[in-house]
């Protein structure tokens, strides 16, 4: 359906599709890409997000059915409960999907993955000056050695390795090439460029990926696949992910509904639908399951999907009846970018306060109902009155109560609350001024 709906309109000369112009098709555009889901891993960083094991299994099984290629099931070294959940997920039966789990470049972190029975470990590590100085607190040579040793250790213990270069979009090109070559030669099968702070523009992503590809030796490109992990801090995660695909990248990190740390990462539903419908690229995903996945995730995370969210928002295929009703019913693509059935949705029509009385009368007459002027006035009064009598103030109060409840679902403590708790338990007052002074001195250096 997706391959013929637009071609038919083009062939009849009814629309122009600039996406299909040869000059607009990048030369490196692949025929097939693979979706790597990061929903479980990224949700660990969302204060209000929490999944029970049963919810994790349901979501993972549906993702597997939908054709997602890789699922990152979490970070076992984070806690015993996280480790237990990952271990149980590994023992579930899946049809096609590959399970991976994240680890830092340390023996303990990698061992936590191996002890869960994970056969594909994703090692995360930064390599730019800022992270070396303030996070890793080691030299570039030490970090490089640590990365190589971690990869070799993991492979020695029978697991495959993906290597994620954290903050890769702010790492000098020569350093990216250096650590990617070392990681690939050590045995990493995927090399992931992480735009960890959503800092790139699409044209910058084109530049970075093309220069990484050009700079890596052929031997490295033949043994390791390039991948991207794009955060959405500037609302560019989808655009940057698509830009990477235009440069030939075939393994794409996404999250359902764009969940993740801070503003989240590239939304699964946007990336997949855009690739399938705008690029005609096979993602391996059953588009008809996209909406079901998003609804399951919304319920499990208790995080509402915004009304106007592309692809999966409640308002995307909703239309208030107006003078264009007949045209909408005859040819929905006049008002919708694609048939909602493609992504498991359906269009909804509603009569509202902006629907003209004459139009309502015409709709009724077509259905064989003839109403008197008095009846029409009463009908229209009720339609319009249902909204005018609506207590907006009460609705706003309910809205803010829901927001308050969602905030209360956060499991952590603000730092001020943490120190108050410490004082209550230990009966000792923290020397916050001294801590602040030391922090200021460290920042000054």
Phi and psi based region of residue 284 (left: phi greater than 0; alpha: psi -120 to 50; beta: remaining)? left
User: Which of 15-19, 71-75, 259-263, 409-413 has the lowest average pLDDT?
Assistant: 409-413
What pLDDT digit, counting tens, does each position of 90-133 carry?
A: 999 999 999 999 999 999 999 999 999 999 999 999 999 999 99
How far apart are the C-alpha atoms of 68 and 60, rounded to whole Å? 9
Q: Which of 56, 122, 62 is nearest to 91 (CA)?
A: 56
Q: Is residue 326 pLDDT above 90, yes or no? A: no
Q: Residue written as tokens 């230990």? A: 426
Domains of the chain (ranges plus CATH)?
A: 19-301 (3.20.20.70), 318-397 (no CATH), 415-444 (no CATH)
Q: Is residue 151 pLDDT above 80, yes or no? A: yes
Average pLDDT in the 270-297 region?
97
pLDDT band at 417 (very low <50, low <70, confident <90, very high): confident
What is the value of pTM for the model shown? Answer: 0.89
Q: Is residue 439 pLDDT above 90, yes or no? A: no
Task: Please answer whether residues 126 and 135 qualify as being in contact, where contact means their C-beta atoms are separated by less than 8 angstroms.
Answer: yes
pLDDT band at 2 (very low <50, low <70, confident <90, very high): low
Torsion of CA 52, 53, 58, 61, to 10 degrees: 140
Average pLDDT in the 18-44 region?
93
pLDDT band at 1 (very low <50, low <70, confident <90, very high): low
pLDDT at 247: 98
User: Which of 203-207, 261-265, 351-355 has the lowest average pLDDT?
Assistant: 351-355
pLDDT at 415: 78
pLDDT at 433: 63
pLDDT at 4: 74
- For residue 113, CA distances in Å to 26, 73, 86, 143, 434 come to 39, 10, 8, 21, 39
Higher pLDDT, 432 or 213: 213
Percent over 70 (pLDDT), the chain: 92
Q: Which two tokens stand for residue 166?
A: 């954290």
Average pLDDT in the 168-197 region?
98
pLDDT at 113: 98
What pLDDT digit, counting tens, does each position of 257-274 carry?
A: 999 999 999 999 999 999
Q: Which two tokens stand for residue 29?
A: 């555009």
Average pLDDT in the 18-42 region?
94
Q: Which of 270, 265, 298 is nearest to 283 (CA)?
A: 270
Average pLDDT, the chain: 90
Q: Is residue 20 pLDDT above 80, yes or no? A: yes
Q: Is residue 246 pLDDT above 70, yes or no? A: yes
pLDDT at 436: 63
Q: Is residue 358 pLDDT above 90, yes or no? A: no
Q: Is residue 392 pLDDT above 80, yes or no? A: no
Task: Please answer whether residues 290 and 66 qualify as being in contact, where contact means their C-beta atoms are separated by less than 8 angstroms.
Answer: yes
Q: Is residue 350 pLDDT above 90, yes or no? A: no
């Amino acid at each position: 359906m997706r391959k013929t709906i637009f071609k038919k309109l083009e062939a009849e000369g009814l629309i122009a599709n600039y996406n299909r112009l040869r000059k607009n098709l990048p030369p490196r555009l692949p025929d097939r890409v693979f979706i790597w889901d990061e929903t479980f891993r990224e949700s660990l960083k969302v204060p209000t997000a929490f999944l029970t094991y049963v919810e994790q299994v349901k979501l993972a099984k549906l993702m597997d059915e939908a054709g997602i290629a890789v699922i990152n099931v979490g970070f076992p070294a984070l806690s015993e409960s996280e480790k237990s959940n990952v271990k149980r997920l590994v023992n579930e039966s899946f049809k096609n999907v590959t399970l991976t789990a994240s680890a830092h470049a340390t023996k303990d972190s990698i061992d936590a993955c191996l002890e869960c029975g994970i056969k594909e470990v994703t090692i995360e590590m930064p390599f730019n000056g800022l992270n070396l100085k303030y996070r890793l607190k080691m030299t570039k040579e030490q970090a490089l050695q640590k990365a190589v040793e971690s990869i070799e250790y993991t492979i020695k213990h029978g697991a495959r390795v993906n290597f994620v270069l954290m903050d890769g979009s702010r790492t000098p090109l020569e350093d990216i090439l250096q650590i990617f070559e070392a990681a690939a030669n050590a045995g990493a099968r995927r090399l992931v460029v992480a735009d960890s702070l959503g800092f790139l523009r699409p044209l910058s992503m084109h530049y970075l990926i093309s220069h990484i590809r050009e700079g890596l030796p052929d031997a490295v490109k033949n043994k390791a696949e390039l991948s991207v992990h794009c955060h959405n801090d500037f609302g560019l995660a989808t655009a940057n992910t698509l830009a990477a695909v235009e440069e030939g990248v075939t393994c794409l990190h996404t999250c359902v509904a764009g969940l993740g740390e801070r503003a989240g990462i590239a939304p699964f539903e946007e990336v997949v639908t855009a690739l399938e419908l705008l690029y005609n690229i096979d993602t391996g995903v059953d588009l008809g399951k996209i909406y079901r996945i998003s609804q399951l995730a919304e319920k499990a995370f208790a995080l509402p999907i915004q009304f106007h969210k592309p692809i999966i928002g409640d308002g995307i295929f909703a239309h208030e009846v107006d003078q264009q009703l007949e045209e909408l019913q005859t040819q929905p693509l006049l008002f919708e970018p694609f048939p909602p059935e493609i992504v498991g949705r359906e269009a909804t029509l509603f009569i509202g306060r902006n629907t003209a009385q004459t139009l309502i009368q015409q709709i009724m007459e077509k259905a064989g109902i003839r109403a008197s002027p008095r009846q029409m006035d009463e009908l229209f009064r009720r339609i319009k009155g249902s909204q005018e009598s609506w207590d907006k103030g009460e609705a706003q109060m309910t809205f803010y109560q829901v927001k308050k409840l969602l905030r209360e679902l956060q499991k952590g403590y603000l730092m001020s609350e943490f120190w108050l708790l410490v004082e209550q338990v230990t009966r000792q007052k923290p020397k916050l001024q001294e801590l602040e002074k030391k922090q200021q001195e460290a920042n000054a250096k």
